């Protein structure tokens, strides 16, 4: 018997772009609204989660979206970038690394293992792309996420700024070798 949870590579269609825009807005807001000014959240959501923006990201050949559905309802997603330069030393090639740019699940699915399933699938995608490492950025104040990534073997290798509206925040850069 197959699981009602399905994690698939997202199709590059307008319908999927609209679905990702809605899910992206919902999950980002659920995760960060309490810790950010409303005007900064609004600015970030408007700039990053419109259907047109999602369609452009879907069309990028270096980007892969994994979309998780439970009985045809979208419950989480991951945005992966092949050949990421995040945290790479100057003069090194990004060709053999994959970045998890986003990994979010709906609030009502946190703690169910869905995030872990998405991460396992992201690591599988990195291996299929012949990557030697996976990198990601995580807000230094998001302790739950940092612990989640550590359980998968990620280690801090640096930091970089991340802007939410007018607020410049600090993200840790984490890496896992494959």
Q: What is the mean pLDDT of residues 117-136?
A: 94
Is 165's pLDDT higher than 60? yes
Asked if residue 88 belongs to a domain, the reply is: yes
Is 1's pLDDT higher than 50? no
Mean pLDDT of the chain: 92
pLDDT tens digits, one per residue of 83-109: 888 877 666 667 789 999 999 999 999
Asked if residue 104 belongs to a domain, the reply is: yes
Asked if residue 162 belongs to a domain, the reply is: no
Question: How far apart (Å, rounded) are the C-alpha atoms in residues 101 and 106?
Answer: 17
Residues 6+ apart with CB under 8 A from 87: 135, 157, 158, 160, 173, 175
Element (H, E) at 152: none
Q: What residues are annotated to the active site? A: 149
Q: What is the mean pLDDT of residues 22-48?
A: 94
Range of the domain at 65: 5-132
pLDDT tens digits, one per residue of 66-88: 999 988 889 999 999 998 888 77
Asked if residue 170 belongs to a domain, the reply is: no
**Residue 125 maps to which CATH number?**
3.40.630.30
Query: How many structural domains compose the chain?
Result: 1
pLDDT of the residue at 91: 66
pLDDT of the residue at 65: 96
């Amino acid at each position: 018997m197959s699981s009602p949870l399905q994690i698939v590579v997202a199709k590059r269609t307008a319908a999927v772009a609209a679905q990702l825009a809605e899910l992206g807005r919902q999950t980002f807001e659920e995760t960060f609204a309490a810790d950010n000014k409303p005007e900064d959240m609004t600015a970030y959501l408007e700039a990053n989660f419109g259907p047109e923006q999602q369609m452009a990201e879907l069309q990028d050949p270096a980007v892969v979206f994994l979309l998780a559905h439970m009985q045809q309802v979208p419950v989480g997603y991951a945005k992966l970038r092949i050949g990421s330069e995040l945290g790479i030393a100057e003069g090194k090639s990004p060709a053999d690394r994959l970045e998890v740019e986003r990994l979010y699940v709906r609030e009502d699915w946190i703690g169910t293992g869905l995030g872990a399933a998405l991460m396992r699938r992201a690591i599988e995608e990195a291996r299929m792309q012949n990557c030697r490492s996976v990198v990601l950025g995580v807000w230094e104040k998001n302790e739950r996420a940092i612990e989640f990534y550590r359980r998968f073997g990620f280690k801090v290798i640096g930091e970089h700024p991340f802007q939410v509206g007018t607020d410049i925040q600090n993200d840790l850069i984490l890496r896992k070798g494959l």
